[in-house]
Amino acid sequence: MPELPEVETVRRGLTPAMEGAVIARATVNRPDLRWPFPDHMAERLTGQRVERLRRRSKYILADLSSGETLLIHLGMSGRMLVSGDPLGQFVHDHPAAEKHDHVVLDMANGARITFNDPRRFGAMDLMPTGSEGTHKLIAHLGPEPLGNTFSEAYLAAALQGRNTPIKAALLDQKIVAGLGNIYVCEALYRGRISPARLCRRIAAPRITALVPIIRDVLAEAIAAGGSSLRDFRQADGELGYFQHNFDVYGRESAPCRTPGCDQSIRRIVQSGRSSFYCPQCQR
C-alpha cells in the first residue's frame, strides 16, 4: 500500500494539472471501489474548479468550488495518472481506456486524470470542505509526521509506558498518521532500535531522537519520488526510486550497511507484517 511519501509524490504530480483548473467532465465507470461511490458523484464533480490539493495521512483531498472536498485513497494498487497536460509538465498523450480505469476526470485545460485500480481497494468520497476532521476515515488519525504537532515531547508522551513493540506503535495511525511498514523499518534502523523492543523499555532520549529521523527518511523518500515495489507509479507514470536506498527493508540475509558490522539483515513477522532489522546494530 502506498505510504505517505508515495501519496505526497502523487499529490505534487497532480497539482500542476488540477489545482486551479475546472473539471470539464467526470466519468465514473462503476458504482464502487472498496466502498460505494457517493450518490451522483460524476454530476457533483463536473463543472467544479479544484481550488486546492491537500494531503492528510495517506489521503489526497481536493477542495472544490462547490464547497465539497473529494477524498481519494489509492488503496493497494490505485494510480492517479495524468495525460495531455497543456502546461508541459507531462509528455504523455491520452492513452486508450483500460479495463480498470474506474474514474476519469477531463480537465478544461486539456489534462486528463485517470484513477486506475486493478484490485479495487481504493476509495473516493465527497464531503463538505472543512469537515474532514469528522470523516470516518480521517477523524481518528494522529498528527502528521512532517507537521509541527509531531514533536519530541509529543512522541515521548504518546509512547510512555506502552507495553507494545515500537514497530507496532509507530504503525498505529492514531499515534502518527501516514507511516507504513517500509519507512518505520528504515527509521528504526537509523535510530538503532529493534522493531521488537517494547516502548516502555526504550529510554526517552532514544524515543525523541526518532522524530527528526522519521522526518529525514520521509523527506528523502519524497525527494526520490517514493518507493516503487509493485504497483506504485508517480502521476506522470514514472517509477519512484527510493527503494534503491533501503538500508533494511526487503534486504533479508544481505549484509548490514553499517561500517564495521559483520551481521546480515534479518526478517521477523510482527502482526502479520515483515520487519527487517540488523540484530547487532538495533537493540
Segments making up each domain of the chain, as ranges: 4-134, 152-277
Based on the residue annotation, tell me whether 36 is a catalytic residue of this protein.
no
We find that the CATH architecture of domain 152-277 is Orthogonal Bundle (1.10)
How far is residue 243 from each of residues 192, 214, 224, 228, 257, measured CA to CA in Å? 20, 16, 9, 7, 15
Residues in the chain: 283
Q: One of 38, 192, 273, 279 is an active-site residue; which one? A: 273
Same fold, 4-134 and 152-277: no
pLDDT of residue 2: 82
CB 70 within 8 A of CB 61: yes
pLDDT reported for residue 229: 47
Catalytic-role residue among 56, 58, 190, 251: 58
Q: What pLDDT does 231 receive? A: 47
58 among known catalytic residues: yes
Domain 4-134 has CATH 3.20.190.10: yes
Q: Is 2 an annotated catalytic residue?
A: yes
Catalytic residue among 2, 5, 145, 165: 2
Q: pTM of the full predicted structure?
A: 0.90
> In 3D, which of 177, 181, 227 has the Cα closest to residue 55?
177
What is d(CA 135, CA 157) in angstroms, rounded to the nearest whole number?
26
| Cα(202)–Cα(188) distance, integer angstroms | 12
Place of cell 521488537: 196
Known active-site residue 220:
no
So what's the pLDDT on residue 89?
Answer: 57
Residue 236, pLDDT score: 55
Question: What pLDDT is attached to residue 97?
Answer: 79
Q: What does the alpha-carbon distance between residue 171 and residue 188 come to, in Å, rounded to a whole number?
A: 12
Mean pLDDT in consecutive groups of 10 residues from the start of the chain, 283 residues: 88 93 98 96 98 97 98 92 69 75 95 93 97 95 97 98 97 96 96 98 97 96 72 51 80 97 98 96 97
